[in-house]
Chain A
Amino acid sequence: MWQRFTLYDLRVVGHYLGTLILFFAVLMVVPLVTALIFQEWEPAARYLLAIGITMVAGCSLRFLRIEPGRLSRRQALAVTGFAWVVLALFASIPLYFSGHYVTYLDALFDGVSGLTTTGASLVVDLDHLSYADNMFRFAMHFLGGLGLIVVALSFGLFGKGGGASLFTSEGRSEHVVPNVVQTTQFIARITVIVVALATIVITGICLVMGMEPARAFLNALWVSISGFVTGGFTPMQLSIMYYHSFPLEFILMVLMILGSISFVVHAEVWKGRPSAFFKDFETKTMVFWIAVMTLVFTASMASSTLFSDMLALLRRGLFMVISAFTTTGFQVVTVNQLTTATAFTTGAFLTLAFIMAVGGGAGSTAGGIKFSRMGIIFKSMVSTVKEALAPDSARVVVAYNHLGRRTLTPEVVKEAMTVFILFVVTYVIGTLVGIAHGFEATEAIFESVAMTSNGGIITGLATPGMAPTLELFYILQMWAGRLEFVTLLALIVEVGASLLPRRAPQSDKRRS
């Protein structure tokens, strides 16, 4: 019943992973060039070595299958599923040898966190990190953020994909649906333009504040990338508190929200069809949901002893709400303020966790359960009530608008509810694992949600040199959350089925 992977499948998967790894080696040229520009010789040598290792590994894997060909859906699933962790393994090589990580697992954690755009970092002494290493961290965010969209488009958003896979042989595009390629290019263009504009504006702000030009530019670039792909890494240890700039925080809030809107909606708006944005049910869900959660958050902060000052609430409170729901992970309050009951009340703290858990828009870099699923579940409840009230012969149809008018079908509802439950179960299991390691319950809940939803606001459980079992589990959660579970589970099932002894010879039929 469960289809299994054949040796041939493995070779195909290996080949395409090798291609991705090779591409990752090209990405590593960016930190290398940065190191050379700023004359950081040790990082330059380190990145050259990392590039070499990655290239050789990638090329070796590619030899597993020479002739060009298409990917079947299951194979593409395996490639994208494993890609995150495999690439993070190669990312951890230069990171660990920078000397800024306590254990190798910490470097791997940062690699996964960077690529999944979680943004929780275990780096030690970030303020003394070389520009090359910092550039690499944000390059990972950029790749992870864009790559996800590209991958999601190739078989998520356009229905079942129709056999179209993104990963085709080099140069040959006849097997790829043209729509996908065009939209992918469009998305890359949007990202580059938005990040470039934001970088220019923020560089200006940093220069006004008195930073040196090179540092102003780098900080602006990195913070813009991190904001738009809703990552959460920041160049300095104090996160966004470092900049002490309200205009910067405002721009980042707009950037974060932009990053949490579905990319396909972006594409429509950029083509001159703003109604795609305004009529979209995700937009409506966002407005309603965030308004309610802001109300709850503010009400729960009213009893805070130190933080109930109006301006503090408006400036830092709203930023944290936006950072949470877009699952970015920027912080304008310290971990101490979040966790002790003096600044943030426990209620506000858990409200923030709840906001992160639900997350942002689907088809964007935001994580969490996503607005579309929440909207669908809500509409499904409405539909159920309608059916209960309507006469037996009536057929109830509930419609919603997401890039065109769609009707609520049982399949859509089933997918939404399944993923919703899987997220909640993972949040709970992650909490239990955190508690088992001896941490406070509220903090364990928050951290588990932060990992799974790729939010990345840290409360102190994820620290350098943390317990390896907890760390591995958090890595698993980040991975699962980014793959939105179904992909990951399907993968696990396939791998598991492949490892079981076969009952009858049935693998020969599966050559594609």
Chain B
Amino acid sequence: MARLHPDLRPVSPAASIALMLLAIVSFLIALWIIMALVRIVFG
């Protein structure tokens, strides 16, 4: 399966795991923000 978008550069495993965790945490925070906004608007 040829990749049309090759990776820019291989990162170290620790960095990539940290990046994934950071993404998940920011996802959760974003969800909290959505909840707070919806609550304020609808409540």
| Direct A–B touching, Cβ under 8 Å | yes
Give chain A's interface residues, CB within 8 Å of chain B.
250, 253-254, 257-258, 269-275, 277-279, 287, 290-291, 294-295, 298-299, 301-302, 308, 310, 313-314, 317-318, 321-322, 404-406
Offer 28 A-B interface pairs, CB within 8 angstroms, sorted by A.
Answer: A254-B21, A258-B24, A270-B13, A270-B16, A272-B10, A273-B11, A274-B16, A275-B5, A275-B7, A277-B20, A278-B23, A290-B31, A291-B31, A291-B34, A294-B34, A298-B34, A298-B38, A302-B38, A302-B39, A302-B42, A302-B43, A310-B36, A310-B39, A313-B35, A314-B32, A318-B32, A405-B5, A406-B1
| B27 and A404 contacting across the interface, CB-CB below 8 Å | no
Tell me, in angstroms, the Cα distance from A313 to B39 when the chains sit together.
9
A254-B28, A273-B10, A274-B20 as given contacts; A298 in contact with B35, CB under 8 Å: yes
Contacts A257-B24, A299-B42 given; indicate if A405 touches B3 (C-beta within 8 A).
yes
Q: Which of B1, B23, B36 touches A277 (beta carbons < 8 Å)?
A: B23
Nearest chain A CB to B32 CB, angstrom units: 5
A272 pairs with B12, CB closer than 8 A: yes
Partner of B31, one of A271, A294, A310: A294
**Distance (whole angstroms) from the CB of B39 to the closest CB of chain A:** 6
Contact flag A318-B36 (CB < 8 Å), given A299-B42, A405-B4: no
Q: Which of A257, A295, A322 contacts B38 (CB 8 A)?
A: A295
- B binding-site residues for A, Cβ under 8 Å: 1-5, 7-8, 10-13, 15-17, 19-21, 23-25, 27-28, 30-32, 34-36, 38-39, 42-43
- Bound-complex Cα distance A313 to B10 (A): 40
A308 and B39 in contact (CB under 8 A), knowing A272-B13, A404-B3? yes
- Shortest CB-to-CB span from A401 to chain B, Å, is 8
Q: A257-B24, A302-B42 are in contact. Are A270 and B17 (CB under 8 A)?
A: yes
Question: Ordered nearest first, which 8 A-B pairs have the shortest CB separation?
Answer: A274-B16, A302-B42, A298-B38, A404-B1, A298-B35, A302-B43, A272-B10, A274-B19
Task: Provide the residues of chain A in CB contact with B16, threshold 8 Å.
Answer: 269-270, 272-274
Q: Within the complex, which residue of B17, B24, B36, B43 is in contact with A314, where a contact is CB–CB below 8 Å?
A: B36
A175 to chain B, nearest CB (A): 24
Which chain A residues lie closer than 8 Å to B39 at the CB level?
A: 298, 301-302, 308, 310, 313
Q: Beyond the given A272-B15, A274-B16, please list 10 additional residue pairs across the A-B interface where CB-CB is below 8 A.
A: A270-B16, A272-B11, A273-B7, A274-B11, A298-B42, A302-B38, A313-B35, A318-B31, A318-B35, A405-B2
What is the minimal beta-carbon distance from B22 to any residue of chain A, in angstroms?
A: 10
Inter-chain contact B43/A308, CB cutoff 8 Å = yes
A-B contact count (CB 8 A): 88
Decide if A257 touches B35 in the complex (CB within 8 Å).
no
Contacts of A258 in B (CB 8 A): 24
Closest Cβ–Cβ distance, residue B24 to chain A (whole Å): 5
Bound together, the chains give a CA A275 to CA B20 distance in angstroms of: 10
CA distance A310 to B33 in the complex (A): 11
For A291, give its contact among B8, B30, B43 (CB under 8 Å): B30
Q: With both chains docked as a complex, state the minimum distance between the C-beta of A317 and any C-beta of chain B, in angstroms.
A: 6
Instruction: State A274–B38 Cα separation when bound (angstroms).
Output: 32
Q: Which residue of chain B lies nearest to A277 when distances are taken between CB atoms in the complex?
A: B20
CA distance A406 to B27 in the complex (A): 26
Complex Cα gap A272–B35 (Å): 33
Cα(A279)–Cα(B6), bound, Å = 12
| Alpha-carbon distance A274/B23, docked complex (angstroms) | 11
The CA-CA distance from A298 to B35 in the complex, in Å, is: 6
Alpha-carbon distance A290/B28, docked complex (angstroms)? 10
- Neighbour of B35 across the interface among A253, A279, A317, A404, CB < 8 A: A317
Contacts of A318 in B (CB 8 A): 28, 31-32, 35
Cα of A287 to Cα of B24 in the assembled complex, Å: 10
Do A254 and B1 touch (CB < 8 A)?
Answer: no
Contacts of A290 in B (CB 8 A): 27, 31
Which partner residue on chain A sits nearest B40 by CB separation? A310
State A35–B16 Cα separation when bound (angstroms): 40
CB distance from A244 to the nearest CB of B (A): 20
The answer to whether A271 touches B28, judged by C-beta atoms less than 8 angstroms apart, is no
Q: Which residues of A contact B15 (CB under 8 A)?
A: 272, 274
**Using Cβ atoms and an 8 Å threshold, which residues of chain B touch A317?**
35
Alpha-carbon gap, A204 to B13, bound state (A)? 26
CB distance from A285 to the nearest CB of B (A): 13
A485 to chain B, nearest CB (A): 27
**Closest CB of chain A to B11's CB: distance in Å?**
5
Nearest CB of B to A260, in Å: 10
Report whether B38 and A299 are in contact in the complex, using a CB–CB cutoff of 8 Å: yes
Chain A residue at smallest Cβ distance from B42: A302
**Alpha-carbon distance A485/B37, docked complex (angstroms):** 39
The closest CB in chain B to the CB of A293 belongs to B31
Residue numbers in B under 8 Å from A321 (CB-CB): 31
A269 to B23, CA, bound (A): 13
Given A269-B16, A269-B17, A406-B1, do A254 and B24 touch, yes or no (CB 8 Å)?
A: yes
Q: Given contacts A271-B13, A310-B36, are A405 and B1 in contact (CB under 8 A)?
A: yes
